Amino acid sequence: MAATGSEKQGTKAFYVTTPIYYVNDAPHLGHAYTTVAGDVLTRWHRQRGEKVWYLTGTDEHGQKIMRTAEANNVTPQAWCDKLVEEAWKPLWEHLNIANDDFIRTTQKRHTDRVQEFVQDLYDKDEIYKGGYEGPYCVGCEEFKLPGDLVEAEDGTKLCPVHKRPVEILKEENYFFKLSAYGPKLLEFYEANPGFIQPESARNEVVNFVKQGLDDLSISRSTFDWGIPVPWDEKHVIYVWIDALLNYATAVGYNENPAKFEETFPADVHLIGKDILRFHAVIWPAMLMAQGLPVPGRVAANGWLMVGGEKMSKSNLTGIKPQDLTSHFGVDAYRWYFLRAIAFGQDGSFSWEDFTARYTSELANDYGNLASRVAAMVGKYFGGELPASAADGDAEKAIQDGLAAAVAVADAKIGEELDFQAGILAIFDFVKQVNGYITEQEPWKVAKDESEEGRARLATILYTAAESLRAVAVLLNPIMPETSQALWDSLGAEASLGALASQPVQDAATWGQLPAGATVTKGAVLFPRLEEPKKD
């Protein structure tokens, strides 16, 4: 049985991937949702002090890309180059995505290795020549099972994902002996119950495999926009075989053994649920056939819904991420979708919900807390953080609340991929600190100019500032720009060093922010929203 990623110890990097995205059009919110989730996850692990590798990229072969390019009167390569350089890469930079690599399936480092992988399977008698006829969805680049199709009112058979008619294709193709791996996959799922998440996705895959697997067509012969089959160049390699192999080719498969050993397999594949079977059935079977280790986890996120429909270009509900970042800001964008939607479930987006959460949680709870604390340290102590006197029960409650928030956030975000629960734990602590300030009323304590009064005021403000120090650390993987602004406002850069070097798991260690730190009131972290412009 192949080894899982969790069994490889030592210097292996924590390796996270997004799907490689089709470049038939510009990215929308659904693409950005998965990519931001991967960025938050990998930033969190980096801030644990771990070695991390984060991969994203683009899928540039296949019939869908070819037809899109033809419709735009350009070559497929020219179309891919334009979309990658003018749309995909700029968006990831705009959203502060800190990926370590960007793989394109038209790159030689990928195409050569794909041919070698497939040739190896052919030489091992895992691939044979045969014929196939069946319904094919160009949008999914997938032969569909008859039972998967939905029927239109006129009786036309439609793809259940794209709601478009399928094409009946008949070709002579090469086939991978996928059917032989059904029992091995079921044994693997049983031994590794956390391999597929969420549980509903796991159940779907297990039930699918239990029904019996058909061999997989791994070549196409009716068009030529793809990687040639090395032993028969009349065929090109099926785009999904090509695409899945990016997770191996990008980290040195058959090219850089040291890099491959310290990175592969992925610890987490983040995917959309519509490509679950490719990643949870076909991909591990391919790896088993090649004697390579199987990934640690395949985590399927749900769909973003607008008006009850899955967000996509094909149903015209695609929204540009820049439409939102221009109004709410990049950090709020990164925060909102992971805060509002439980990862792994479908979730609905609306301007009204985003606006309400931004105003209540970011501007009023978090941003206002940061502004009030900095203003009071400036007003009462000339901007110099005072030393805390004796902590009382109220302060101990804050310290306990922080310890609980760190423990929950680290477990939920770092291990369980429950971003929503982790973020809620952090913001519950923010609410607790707000409540502490309301109850302690430092503005009233400040009127007591006695030594005891000044000491009490110092303790309250130190407690609030030290709490914000921890919040900046915890929110840095999610909202790096505003976290850095808060870090600077607290004078933490000069006394504690770079924010990104602060371990998230140690954020609850109390007393890290030193007395005497220069606290300044910077720009408002989350400005009041203006009315969105109407076209």
HEC secondary structure over 137-184: ECCCCEECCHHHCEECCCCCEECCCCCCECEEEEEEEEEECHHHHHHH
Per DSSP, helices labelled H in 177-329 are 182-191, 199-210, 239-244, 246-249, 257-263, 276-277, 283-290, 321-328
| Bridge partners for 165 per DSSP | 158
CA-CA distances (angstroms) from residue 102 to 64, 77, 99, 110, 377? 21, 17, 7, 12, 45
From 28, 61, 110, 235, active-site residue: 28
pTM (two decimals): 0.90
Please tell me the number of Cα atoms within 13 Å of 447 on its side-chain side. Answer: 3
Q: Which helix (H) or strand (E) holds 347?
A: strand 347-348
Nearest-angstrom CA–CA distance, 210 and 311: 31
Answer yes or no: are the C-beta atoms of 62 and 109 closer than 8 Å: no
> Mean pLDDT over residues 8-12, rounded?
64
279 given a catalytic annotation: no
Answer yes or no: are the C-beta atoms of 56 and 102 closer than 8 Å: yes
Q: Is the pLDDT of residue 345 over 80?
A: yes
235 given a catalytic annotation: no
Q: Is residue 441 left, alpha or beta, with left meaning phi > 0 and alpha meaning psi from -120 to 50?
A: left
Q: Length of the chain, please?
A: 535
- Give the three-state DSSP class for 469: helix
- Give the chain's count of helices (H) and strands (E): 22, 18
Residue with tokens 């921890």: 470
Q: Is the pLDDT of residue 382 over 70?
A: yes
Whole-number percent of the chain with pLDDT over 70: 92
From 80, 137, 144, 327, active-site residue: 137
Q: Is the pLDDT of residue 167 over 80?
A: no
Q: Is the pLDDT of residue 323 over 80?
A: yes
Per-residue pLDDT at 142: 66
310 given a catalytic annotation: yes
From 12, 64, 110, 140, active-site residue: 140
> Mean pLDDT over residues 392-411, rounded?
98
pLDDT band at 362 (very low <50, low <70, confident <90, very high): very high
From 12, 61, 235, 310, active-site residue: 310
Q: Is the pLDDT of residue 2 over 80?
A: no
From 45, 80, 159, 269, active-site residue: 159
Q: Which residues contact 516 (CB under 8 A, 6 or more apart)?
A: 384, 385, 387
Neighbours of 276 (CB within 10 A): 18
Q: Which helix (H) or strand (E) holds 194?
A: none
Please tell me the number of Cα atoms within 13 Å of 174 on its side-chain side. Answer: 24
DSSP 90-138: HHHHHTT---SEEEETTSHHHHHHHHHHHHHHHHTT-EEEEEEEEEEET
From 313, 320, 431, 521, active-site residue: 313
pLDDT band at 37 (very low <50, low <70, confident <90, very high): very high
From 8, 82, 162, 379, active-site residue: 162
Q: Is the pLDDT of residue 42 over 70?
A: yes
> Mean pLDDT over residues 262-290, rounded?
97
Closest CA to 266 of 255, 256, 253: 253
Per-residue pLDDT at 373: 98
Q: What angle do CA 528, 336, 338 make, to 5 degrees?
A: 160
Mean pLDDT score across all residues of the chain: 92
Q: Which two tokens stand for residue 300?
A: 């399927």
Nearest-angstrom CA–CA distance, 406 and 401: 9
80 given a catalytic annotation: no
Identity of residue 459:
T
Per-residue pLDDT at 532: 57
pLDDT band at 316 (very low <50, low <70, confident <90, very high): very low
From 31, 64, 279, 327, active-site residue: 31
